Structure 1
């Protein structure tokens, strides 16, 4: 069952379920006094200051699979459909496997519906090996061609651990936490399975080498996405960063 209210995940055509909308509404009501209004945005300071460590290159060393495996990204909006279709031949040509390049060009990027990226062997087609490392072929292409990755890479793939949700009260800028997971596009998997989202789980993982998802490497959620954060929020970014920094200083003073 889908909701027709003004709730949606920003940056994708995939809808929120009625259950996700329900939990989001409950969260907004419960935390009304703690959310900060900044223009059209509702700033969830508690979630945005939650600690994460996106030690992505070491993910496969400590987990059975990474977050890029076992599925496909959220569908992209029409703006990104156009961009990906335009850049797809160049991304394909950038692969080291010429047979795969031909296959990609023959089959195209979409799985039936424009915006929904094809899968290969159970993974997003862009999850590829290069020089012994696995990662996003779009991101690798953008970096090597010195292109801006922000408009090119699927929006939701760049967003984690943040979430951007259209609500009846404005655009909620939040991050996935135990309190938001019931309505976040990220669900509970990251919190339950990946060290990047749980400092508490990492602290008790004494079997890991100290440099893997190092405890002292955890930082507020929003800091991991500053380029995207500023790209999305435009003129509001400085104001919102100031709000978050003030909250950090207030917390430090209280603890001190």
Structure 2
């Protein structure tokens, strides 16, 4: 973080100290992790004209993930609809020459795995994992799995949070998603009368942490179950509070 971002993060944590729970090395930001999101990625391009997977590639994958992706590569490429893409993968490989190990190559300016799938565009790794029931966490680049979660080293622990209007001043995601994309703004989606009800459906919004459960479980290990239970309980309490107008303290 920049010095300014670190200052904003420190102020945020002081304001919310009573609702941030320490679990080992992690600081669980309960209110942010309960913020509603709808990662309706299949409809993103149709609604917004572009997705966050376009115009570049993710951060280089971790070293342990390189052989995992390579092992599944032939099965992933076999599902590609365009034979020219399969040939390109086979001829040139998937890694960018001259870049750090694990840097995924781009094609037409996009991540190599950003492909047309069933008439829509999305991640070929994600589509393969869902279709085959494979472990998405092991296969998909970690940087592509983070949103809307943010992991911030505060010096006193890793803040496990999500991008919200309150965290955007120091979040890696900034304000762009909040201001321009329906996935991050339930209130903005409710006002979008021009959208089909099935695109970013209002009843599809769920707490931020639910979209990243594999990551939460991997990072928190044996502490994951009690943290999930706590967040689920707080989520139910928030729903009850909003529904009947009472206040439940976090």
Instruction: Calculate the TM-score normalised by the size of structure 1.
Output: 0.82
**What residue in structure 2 maps to residue 203 of structure 1?**
190
**What residue in structure 2 maps to residue 222 of structure 1?**
209
Per-residue Cα deviation, 1:62-85 (whole angstroms, up to 9, x for no partner): 111112122221232222233234
**What residue in structure 2 maps to residue 248 of structure 1?**
235
1:191 to 164, 178, 200: 178
SS at 1:115 equivalent: coil
**2-side partners of 1:134 and 1:250: how far apart?**
37
**2-side partners of 1:93 and 1:21: how far apart?**
45
Distance 1:115 1:185, change over 3 A: farther
**How do 1:113-152 and structure 2 match up within 5 A?**
113-152=100-139
**2-side partners of 1:35 and 1:126: how far apart?**
36
1:159 to 138, 142, 146: 146
**2-side partners of 1:20 and 1:108: how far apart?**
39
Deviation at 1:52, TM superposition (A): 1.0
Per-residue Cα deviation, 1:11-53 (whole angstroms, up to 9, x for no partner): xxxxx55554444344334433321112222110110011111
* 1:53 and 2:38 matched: yes
**What residue in structure 2 maps to residue 36 of structure 1?**
21
Structure 1 runs not aligned, ≥5 long: 1-15
**What residue in structure 2 maps to residue 79 of structure 1?**
64
Which structure 1 residue ranges, 4+ long, deviate > 6 Å from structure 2?
A: none
**1-side partners of 2:50 and 2:69: how far apart?**
26
Does the aligned pair in 2 maintain the 1:118–1:124 contact within 8 Å?
yes
**What residue in structure 1 maps to residue 224 of structure 2?**
237
Per-residue Cα deviation, 1:148-188 (whole angstroms, up to 9, x for no partner): 22101101212221122333122211111112223323222
Number of equivalences: 241
**1-side partners of 2:56 and 2:171: how far apart?**
17
